[in-house]
Amino acid sequence: MPQVATFHIGNEIFGVNILLTKEIGKIQEITQVPNAPEFVLGLMNLRGQIVTVMDPGVFLDQKTGVAVEERRLIILKNQFELDELYRNDLIGEINMSRDTLAIVIDRIGDVIDVEPESIRATPPNLASVKKEFVAGIIQHGQKLIILLDMSALAKRCIPQAETLHS
């Protein structure tokens, strides 16, 4: 049974397969990069590793009222780390950046167990976020969790992330 890490951005609850995450932490000093796209907040040094920090709220159409220093980061596994999970049949094939990416969230939620058959298709009337980044919807108790398609999210960000690191 897969586990999903849930988190809040704006007024919505999102989720991501926990196997795609490396860690969750506080935002450290971010160095802004001139001419970077609006969703790239900049670069951060995480224990000697350069991390591209992105705000998915920008292209998920989610506005936040939370101050940057109070928000959290989800550090995602890079392609090399995910390839190992794929070779061990723990995840399906996914295309992420060779570099480490982090997404800024308003606050972390819970880690929940999800039966694969409980993931529903994205409803056509889901107007609060851009559907191209949604893998499905999970009903967890009274809450609806929007499961993010990290491949689609990374695809949008990879060219910018790799340009920033070069």
Element (H, E) at 151: helix 150-165
| E strand residue ranges, the chain | 3-9, 12-17, 21-26, 30-31, 40-46, 49-54, 72-76, 100-105, 107-113, 119-120, 134-140, 143-148
pLDDT tens, residue by residue, 70-128: 899 999 888 778 777 767 676 666 666 667 888 999 999 999 999 888 888 887 776 65
pLDDT (0 to 100) of residue 157: 66
Q: How many domains does the chain have?
A: 1
pLDDT (0 to 100) of residue 164: 47
pLDDT (0 to 100) of residue 163: 47
Q: What are the structure tokens assigned to 78, written together?
A: 């890079």
In the chain, % of residues over pLDDT 90: 22
pTM (two decimals): 0.83
Using a 10 angstrom Cβ sphere, with 0-12 exposed, 13-18 middle and 19 or more buried, the burial of residue 154 is buried
Report helix, strand or coil for 150.
helix
Domain containing 129: what range?
3-165
Q: Provide the residue type at 163 as one letter.
A: T
Check which CATH number belongs to the domain holding 130 and give it. 2.40.50.180
- In this prediction, residue 3 has a pLDDT band, given cuts at 50, 70 and 90, of very high
pLDDT mean across residues, the chain = 82
